[in-house]
Amino acid sequence: DGGITQSPKYLFRKEGQNVTLSCEQNLNHDAMYWYRQDPGQGLRLIYYSQIVNDFQKGDIAEGYSVSREKKESFPLTVTSAQKNPTAFYLCASSILTSGYNEQFFGPGTRLTVL
Amino acid sequence: QKEVEQDPGPLSVPEGAIVSLNCTYSNSAFQYFMWYRQYSRKGPELLMYTYSSGNKEDGRFTAQVDKSSKYISLFIRDSQPSDSATYLCAMSGGEYNFNKFYFGSGTKLNVKP
């Protein structure tokens, strides 16, 4: 089955700790994205990557870091600099063309800071 | 002003009702308009997308885009309890990166049996 997997499903973090969220896709998509979802605020773009070893900041990149060492993988690290990290994190991927590119989403990771 | 505005609801309707969900936007350069459905604690899944203005129908779902008014709608006919979910509109296209999606905040729909 082709798709996007995210792990873990639930993650608990103590204040001051860095945590890394995993995102893997086997759709052979070039582009990958990380979004944060808070109640009543929809999806906000954290980082995106269009090619291996390259990524760009989205609208709310502060306190987050990413890497793209493999086409299939785009892990997100939530650092201690992120002041309010409790949220639902969604990873997505798409092909790259100049027209419409459907973004396929993973099942999400719910991060809670204790 | 947000790029995309969406009434958060919640919207509660009886089974069989016609549901209308709407979004407005400010960027006239948007060309692609999407509706995603998101069940509780799950990732969003694409319902429909439309290019530019016009209507698109898929079973009980109809998407409408009015670019002159910067207004898009999703209609659900004969709504079912299984339609209970949060519906997100999204848009892309324009002078920057075609792959950047702009999402509404989502409307939570509850269809009562």
Give the pLDDT confidence score for residue A83 in this predicted structure.
87
Helix (H, G, I), strand (E, B) or coil at B82: helix
pLDDT < 50 regions, chain A = none
Give the pLDDT confidence score for residue B9 in this predicted structure.
82
Distance from CA of B17 to the nearest CA of A (A): 25
Mean pLDDT by 10 residues, chain B (113 residues): 85 96 93 94 93 92 95 97 96 70 94 96
Report the residue from B8, B43, B100 with minimal CB separation from A105: B43
Give the pLDDT confidence score for residue B7 in this predicted structure.
85
What proportion of chain A, given as a percentage, has pLDDT over 70?
A: 98
Which residue carries 């990524």 as its tokens? A55
Compare all CA atoms of chain A with the CA of B42 and give the residue at the minimum distance.
A107
* Residues in A touching B91 (Cβ below 8 Å): none
Contacts of A95 (CB under 8 A, 6+ apart): A29, A30, A31, A101
Distance from CA of A61 to the nearest CA of B (A): 15
Report the residue from B51, B88, B99 with minimal CB separation from A42: B88
Distance from CA of B8 to the nearest CA of A (A): 7
* Residues in B touching A88 (Cβ below 8 Å): 41
CA–CA distances in Å: residue B36 to residues A105, A114, B21: 10, 31, 12
Q: Do B98 and A94 touch (CB under 8 A)?
A: no
Give the pLDDT confidence score for residue B69 in this predicted structure.
94
Give the pLDDT confidence score for residue B96 in this predicted structure.
54
